[in-house]
């Protein structure tokens, strides 16, 4: 089941549900612009996200960074988020309307190579990717710049 935060036009809901249509979906959420700006949204996602996959504090920081970046740097009108297991990792995927600016990919490349100061020059603030790279195993951006994917190590089972 996909949770909806806010009111999305039918065409956006359909685009998100198509992009997030995986049989092994652990969690899915859709956000309109108002919900993206509402600080309560992250708490609602955290309270409904399945436990035992990722540390809650890590998930909070990932959500806060990705949602803030989608609004501030990407001018997102709507955002889809889903989580699923993939190859022993947890894949957290953010699907954005409209797509991210192409320079976001440039900043990710800078962050991967350790050029932290250059990140802040290219995008004001610009420290999101260096922070996220400390929490996740891998970050990718789709070729059409509509999707940001983070591969996270799952919590070790006892």
Residue 13 resides in a domain: yes
* Count of domains for the chain: 1
Residue 143's CB is within 10 A of a number of other CB atoms, namely 8
pTM, two decimals, is 0.89
- Output the domain CATH number for residue 11: 3.30.565
> 76-128: per-residue pLDDT in tens?
999 999 999 988 899 999 999 999 888 888 888 888 888 888 887 877 776 78
Closest CA to 152 of 83, 100, 106: 83
Flag whether 92 is in a domain.
yes
The tens digit of pLDDT for each residue in 52-83 reads: 999 999 999 999 999 988 888 778 999 999 99
Cα separation, 19 vs 91, in Å, equals 14
Q: What mean pLDDT comes out for the span 31-58?
A: 94
């Amino acid at each position: 089941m996909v949770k909806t935060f806010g009111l999305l036009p039918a065409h956006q809901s359909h685009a998100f549900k198509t992009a997030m249509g995986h049989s092994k979906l652990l969690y899915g959420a859709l956000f309109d612009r108002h919900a993206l700006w509402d600080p309560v949204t992250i708490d609602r996602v955290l309270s409904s996200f399945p436990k035992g996959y990722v540390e809650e504090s890590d998930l909070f920081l990932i959500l806060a960074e990705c949602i803030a970046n989608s609004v501030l740097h990407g001018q997102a009108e709507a955002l889809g988020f889903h989580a699923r297991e993939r190859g022993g990792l947890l894949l957290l995927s953010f699907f954005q309307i409209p797509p991210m600016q192409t320079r976001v990919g440039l900043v990710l490349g800078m962050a991967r190579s350790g050029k932290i100061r250059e990140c802040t020059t290219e995008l004001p603030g610009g420290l999101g990717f260096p922070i996220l790279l400390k929490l996740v195993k891998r970050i990718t951006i789709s070729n059409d710049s509509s999707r940001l994917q983070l591969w996270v190590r799952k919590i070790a089972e006892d």
